[in-house]
Amino acid sequence: MASRRLDGGARVTPRTQRRGHHHVRSVSRASRARVRAASAVELEGRENGEVKVLVVGATGYIGKFVTRELCARGYDVTAFTREKSGIGGKTGADEARALFPNATVKFGDVSDALSVERDAFGEEKYDVVVSCLASRTGGVKDSWDIDYQATKNVLDAARANGSKHFVLLSAICVQKPLLTFQKAKLKFEQELQEAGDISYSIVRPTAFFKSLAGQVEVVQKGGPYVMFGDGQLASCKPISESDLAKFMADSIREPSMMNKVLPIGGPGEAMSALQQGTMLFEILDKEPKFVKVPIEIMDVVIKVLDVFAGFFSNMKDAAEFGKIGRYYAAESMLVMNDKEQYDADATPSYGTDTLKDFFVKVSKEGLAGQELGDQAVFK
């Protein structure tokens, strides 16, 4: 299968791009060609400084890097955030402005369609909209509210406003949608693909560094590395915030990234939990010490939580969080091939930041900036 080289070194095979986005076929070829032509023509010949980009979800882990990357590339960037943003709502309006000195920062509520129209768009004409929105909890209602509805509010306003291109931060795991947030994301992805009057780049990354950093400090203090089963149930190609932000920024102008679903991982080989743990002990120069937790324990916990959720609606999220934990323990964050198997070779790589360098950095400087926030199981 022929593969193409994307800006920055990503290799993307057409076959893998098609996996897990069956809805693409429901968009007529003519309308896709029309949209592709429109966005390419609109930005062609224009300097980045003449291209207006709106970022929603700008205060998130990835959103911050995306916003800064777009500013660094000289785009005319507006970040739309809530008055109290960040983990636990601890970032005030002035701090949000300080996060993005080279962007315009506007405040409002993505959950409210009127606020999106009025406070984010207003009279402004954005050429490109980038969404890094995501439920901070991964809870059932919050996922539908944010990963679907709030993102949809932004898309609706973008289309009404005449925006040309929409970049969506999604997740590779939506290719096997068992969890609520995956279903909510997939529903939005489908509607974005079917819109027809706005081009899109749907970016589906594998694991983020923050999701794999949780055990560095424990191991550093002499504790064991905890993993499910033999530590080889699942693998991923971790990608840094910075590399992912570059990849997402590339998608604004790169014709081969238009109207595509783009699974993406970081550089190097896929790694299992066992490989990550082994690497960590080597970096810290410690004798390997693993605790292997049977995955069946998760199944028992989920069953119990499900029973409670049937009686008490406030237990629904607890049951969902159990399922999220189980999912990430056993499902690889890699492209699924035609045989329904996770396939490291079919998962494109991009960027230069390695998990090894990241572990070294965290072991020296700590976890600042890599906090998991409201739902540690999820992120």
Ligand X SMILES: NC(=O)c1ccc[n+]([C@@H]2O[C@H](COP(=O)([O-])OP(=O)(O)OC[C@H]3O[C@@H](n4cnc5c(N)ncnc54)[C@H](OP(=O)(O)O)[C@@H]3O)[C@@H](O)[C@H]2O)c1
The yes or no reply on residue 246 touching ligand X (CB under 6 A) is no
Q: If binding means CB under 6 A, how many residues of this protein chain bind ligand X?
A: 26
> Restricting to residues 355-374, which ones interact with ligand X according to CB under 6 A?
373
| Angle, alpha carbons 165-169-173 (nearest 5°) | 135
Among 165, 237, 316, 379, binds ligand X (CB under 6 A): 379
Among 20, 86, 108, 277, binds ligand X (CB under 6 A): 86
Euclidean distance between CA atoms 96 and 89, whole angstroms: 11
Residue 85 beta carbon to ligand X: minimum distance, rounded to whole angstroms: 3
Among 57, 108, 265, 266, binds ligand X (CB under 6 A): 57
Among 24, 71, 110, 155, binds ligand X (CB under 6 A): 110
What are 47's two structure tokens?
């300097």
Using the contact rule CB under 6 A, the part of the chain among 159-167, 205-213, 249-257, 291-299 near ligand X is 205-213
| Phi, psi angle pair for 169, to nearest 5° | -85, 110
Q: Among 20, 67, 2, 12, which Cα is nearest to 336's?
A: 20
The yes or no reply on residue 59 touching ligand X (CB under 6 A) is yes
| Angle, alpha carbons 132-137-141 (nearest 5°) | 95
Q: Which is nearer to ligand X, 35 or 216 (CB)?
A: 216
Euclidean distance between CA atoms 189 and 202, whole angstroms: 7
Residue 171 beta carbon to ligand X: minimum distance, rounded to whole angstroms: 3
Q: Which is nearer to ligand X, 57 or 267 (CB)?
A: 57
Q: Which is nearer to ligand X, 43 or 362 (CB)?
A: 362
Q: Among 249, 256, 178, 243, which Cα is nearest to 207's?
A: 243
> Restricting to residues 23-42, which ones interact with ligand X according to CB under 6 A?
none
Euclidean distance between CA atoms 21 and 28, whole angstroms: 15
CA distances from 197 to 37, 116, 293, 326 (A): 11, 19, 49, 39
Buried b (16+ CB within 10 A) or exposed e, 282-316: ebbeeeeeeeeeeeeebeebbeebbeebeeeeebb
Q: Which is nearer to ligand X, 128 or 172 (CB)?
A: 172
Residue 212 beta carbon to ligand X: minimum distance, rounded to whole angstroms: 8
| Angle, alpha carbons 250-12-73 (nearest 5°) | 10
The yes or no reply on residue 62 touching ligand X (CB under 6 A) is yes
Q: Which is nearer to ligand X, 126 or 148 (CB)?
A: 148
Q: Which is nearer to ligand X, 35 or 362 (CB)?
A: 362
> Restricting to residues 113-172, which ones interact with ligand X according to CB under 6 A?
132-136, 146, 169, 171
The yes or no reply on residue 267 touching ligand X (CB under 6 A) is no
The yes or no reply on residue 205 touching ligand X (CB under 6 A) is yes
Residue 319 beta carbon to ligand X: minimum distance, rounded to whole angstroms: 19
Determine the longest span between alpha carbons in the chain, in angstroms: 61
Residue 355 beta carbon to ligand X: minimum distance, rounded to whole angstroms: 12
Q: Among 63, 71, 55, 70, which Cα is nearest to 129's?
A: 55
Using the contact rule CB under 6 A, the part of the chain among 37-45, 81-89, 225-233, 296-304 near ligand X is 81-89
Closest residue to ligand X: CB criterion: 60
Among 208, 247, 321, 358, binds ligand X (CB under 6 A): 208
Using the contact rule CB under 6 A, the part of the chain among 39-47, 54-62, 256-264, 289-297 near ligand X is 54-62
The yes or no reply on residue 82 touching ligand X (CB under 6 A) is yes
Residues of the shown chain interacting with ligand X in the complex, contacts defined by CB under 6 A? 57, 59-63, 81-82, 85-86, 110-111, 132-136, 146, 169, 171, 205, 207-208, 211, 373, 379
